[in-house]
Amino acid sequence: MNEYVIEIQNVTKSFGEKVVLNDISFNVKEGRIYGFIGPSGSGKTTLIKLIVGMDSPNKGAISLLGEKMPNLNILQRIGYMAQSDALYTALTGKENLMFFASLFKLNKTERQRRISYAAKLVNLTEDLNKKVSAYSGGMKRRLSLAIALIQNPQVLILDEPTVGIDPELRLSIWNELLRLKTEEGKTIIVTTHVMDEAEKCDYIAMLREGSLIATGTPGQLKEQYGVGALDEVFLHAGRKIL
């Protein structure tokens, strides 16, 4: 078994003339939380999409769990949460969970078990029979997270999971992510542009205009740049490159 869960090697991606990701290399170890930090437009979502295999890089390669992406079978072991809530609003929360659960190889009892587990996890059990169109923004976000967890994936890839969520719920989502990491040994990648969330990650990769400007644990980065907070690291590292 490979040492790394995700290997990103010299990945370059451009859309037409515009280079969105420039020679990115990065490895992800099992059982940790990785944060991709960067302002909007820095290429975070593109990188996520390449990792999930929705798109393929122009140069370089990405492998997940030892398999070169894009690879459909690997998707069975990845939980993905997109930036926007991609939910069927005419269906109830439960129907949404059922639908996505059926797309994965799960037997019937397991499916039922996972649905109630995921719903409980994000605190939606009581609202499961409501239509999603009646959900609040936070409830939709939580349902999206539940869907990402539905097939009990080894790797979770969450694109801005806490955007537009109130502080209390954000805290509970983070507590859940930390629990998933420590108790279930899951590997988690989150993108965010909120620095205090970055502090909770085990390892950080800072992206700016398609390039990795700094990587390391929050402590290492702060030490390296001799600053007290991560947002200062970001400013310093960014200055260096510009």
**Least distance to another protein from the beta carbon of 227, Å?**
36
Alpha helices in 107-193 (DSSP H): 108-121, 137-148, 167-184
Pick 69 or 207: Cβ nearer another protein:
69
Site string for another protein, 134-153 (x = CB under 8 A): -------------x------
One-letter identity of residue 40? S
What does each C-alpha distance from 142 to 101, 118, 157, 158, 210 come to in angstroms? 16, 10, 15, 12, 29
Q: Which residues pair with 9 in a beta bridge?
A: 61
**Least distance to another protein from the beta carbon of 50, Å?**
10
**Least distance to another protein from the beta carbon of 230, Å?**
29
- Angle, CA 22 vertex, CA 6 and CA 234 arms, to 5°: 85
Measured in degrees and rounded to the nearest 5, phi and psi for residue 190 equal -125, 150
Pick 53 or 93: Cβ nearer another protein:
53
146-181 per-residue burial string, b: 16 or more CB within 10 A, e: under 16: bbbbbbbbbbbbbbbbbeebeeebbeebbebbeebb
**Least distance to another protein from the beta carbon of 147, Å?**
8
161 lies in the site for another protein, by CB under 8 A: no
Site string for another protein, 26-65 (x = CB under 8 A): --------------------------xxxxx---------
Q: Pick out residues in 105-124 that bind another protein (CB under 8 A).
A: 105
Count of residues in contact with another protein, rule CB under 8 A: 25
Cα–Cα distance for residue pair 113/172, rounded to 1 Å: 22
One-letter identity of residue 1? M
**Least distance to another protein from the beta carbon of 167, Å?**
25
49-75 per-residue burial string, b: 16 or more CB within 10 A, e: under 16: bbbbbeeebeebebbbbeeebbeeebb
**Least distance to another protein from the beta carbon of 103, Å?**
4
Q: Pick out residues in 67-106 that bind another protein (CB under 8 A).
A: 70-73, 75-76, 78, 80, 82, 84-89, 100, 103-105
> Which residues are at the interface with another protein (CB under 8 A)?
52-56, 70-73, 75-76, 78, 80, 82, 84-89, 100, 103-105, 147
